[in-house]
Amino acid sequence: MEDARDKKELNQILKDTLKNNQDHYKKGELANYIPALTKVDPKAVGISMVDTKGKFYATGEYKKRFTIQSVSKPLTLMLAIMDNGIDSVFDKVGVEPTGDPFNSIIKLTGFAKPYNPMINAGAIAVTSMIKGNDKEDKFSRIIGFFRKLAKNDGLELNQEVYFSEKETGDRNRSLAYYMRDQEIITGNIEEIVDLYFKQCSIEVNCTDIANMAAVLANQGVDPVTKERIIPRKIARIVRTLMTTCGMYDKSGNFAIEVGLAAKSGVGGGIMAEVPERFGIGVYGPALDDKGNSIVGMKVLKELSQKLNLSIF
Ligand code: DON
């Protein structure tokens, strides 16, 4: 379908969609529980789209960099599964939605393992499974994997956000210590949460996350280089978890309104994939009460309607 639609027309659709939705930022808040994340312009919005033939469409502040935050969770999950196998990972982390906020501790106390890898508890457990000789090696494997998916060797850590997370991340530390007590994770907790904070503080832009999503949309194969980066089965599992849990306790509503596998982050990014068609990256740092970009969700809803993107 996209082949028939010329580039100019699709770029115009993106432009109009951004314009129609950019004012929704007024209803949101910046992620003030990580102080460094409040030093951004709440009005900034951008969209990048890459199709599975490698064609690129974009508008607004799509080059503006922001920290990846929880958009990193499905990516690290794929690496952890490739490192350890499907069964080992899901022996420790569940695959069910929680209906609770992303940083909730409530269900950890009544259930032997974190409900899913998209919430903080599950993501920290996943990060603890990344293989490497030492903490530096583990981080360099994570960032190396993100660079490959984004086709951008320039991805780097945002030191200020990383230190800000480290300073204020006691909820995440609590989740991790509790999980070690429950024998879900093993090892040095300070090192594990540090690796998780670093993974969340990697800077990307809309195009980086659109490129990452395009690999998922293309079932694990890079649409441009044709290299298989992720086994098809692992890509399918992770796309499924993004669909059921990627927008936390808004995932059901998002499935109805947008109908795509997606993952949000409190840096303001949302990565979404349209099977066999598109990778999409949207940015808007003002968040709703669930921690999802308000403008990002509105933009995806309108694009889904205009381009008939819902998988349902
Ligand atoms: O651990 C945290 O709270 C953040 N580094 C990531 C949370 C996040 O992005 C939630 N997503 N919308």
The pTM of this model reads 0.97
Same domain, residue pair 86 and 182: yes
Binning pLDDT at 50, 70 and 90, where does residue 4 land?
Answer: low
Same domain, residue pair 122 and 59: no
Q: Is residue 289 part of a domain?
A: yes
Average pLDDT over residues 94-115: 88
Q: Is the predicted pLDDT of residue 290 greater than 90, yes or no?
A: yes
What confidence tens digit (pLDDT) does each residue in 20-32 have? Answer: 999 999 999 999 9
Same domain, residue pair 175 and 193: yes
- How far, in Å, are 142, 164, 231, 238, 309 from residue 51 at the CA level? 25, 36, 20, 20, 13
Q: Where are the alpha helices (DSSP H) in 128-220?
A: 135-150, 159-168, 170-181, 189-200, 206-217
68 Cα–ligand 1 center, Å = 9
Just list the catalytic residues: 70, 73, 196, 248, 266
Mutation to probe ligand 1, out of 98, 127, 167, 266 (largest number of atoms < 8 A from CB): 266
Closest CA to 222 of 50, 5, 11: 50
Neighbours of 106 (CB within 10 A): 10
Same domain, residue pair 79 and 194: yes
Q: How far apart are CA 156 and CA 176, in angstroms?
A: 25
CATH number of the domain where residue 31 is located: 3.40.710.10
What confidence tens digit (pLDDT) does each residue in 133-191 have? Answer: 999 999 999 999 999 999 999 999 999 999 999 999 999 999 999 999 999 999 999 99
Give the type of residue at 41.
D
Q: Is the predicted pLDDT of residue 1 greater than 60, yes or no?
A: no
Tokens for 68, please give them: 């990846």
Same domain, residue pair 249 and 270: yes
Q: Is residue 224 part of a domain?
A: yes
Q: Is the predicted pLDDT of residue 309 greater than 90, yes or no?
A: yes
| Residue given tokens 């992303």 in the structure block | 102
Task: Mark which of 153, 185, 200 sits at the end of a domain.
Answer: 200
What is the C-alpha radius of gyration for the chain, rounded to an integer number of angstroms? 18
Residue 196 gets the label, from left (phi > 0), alpha (psi -120 to 50) or beta, of: alpha
Mutation to probe ligand 1, out of 118, 142, 193, 200 (largest number of atoms < 8 A from CB): 200
- How far, in Å, are 128, 177, 186, 197 from residue 180 at the CA level? 11, 5, 6, 18
What confidence tens digit (pLDDT) does each residue in 222-252 have? Answer: 999 999 999 999 999 999 999 999 999 999 9
Number of domains in the chain: 2
Closest CA to 215 of 242, 253, 255: 242
Pocket residues: Cβ below 6 A from ligand 1: 69-70, 102-103, 120, 165, 172, 200, 264-266, 291-292
Binning pLDDT at 50, 70 and 90, where does residue 111 land?
Answer: low
Q: DSSP states of 257-269 as a string?
A: HT-SEEEE-TTSE
Same domain, residue pair 151 and 213: no
Which residues form the domain of 151? 70-200
Binning pLDDT at 50, 70 and 90, where does residue 109 land?
Answer: confident
310 Cα–ligand 1 center, Å = 26
7 Cα–ligand 1 center, Å = 34
Question: Whole-number mean pLDDT of the chain?
Answer: 96
Q: Which H or E run includes 274?
A: strand 269-274
Average pLDDT over residues 90-102: 94
Measured in degrees and rounded to the nearest 5, phi and psi for residue 245 equal -130, -5
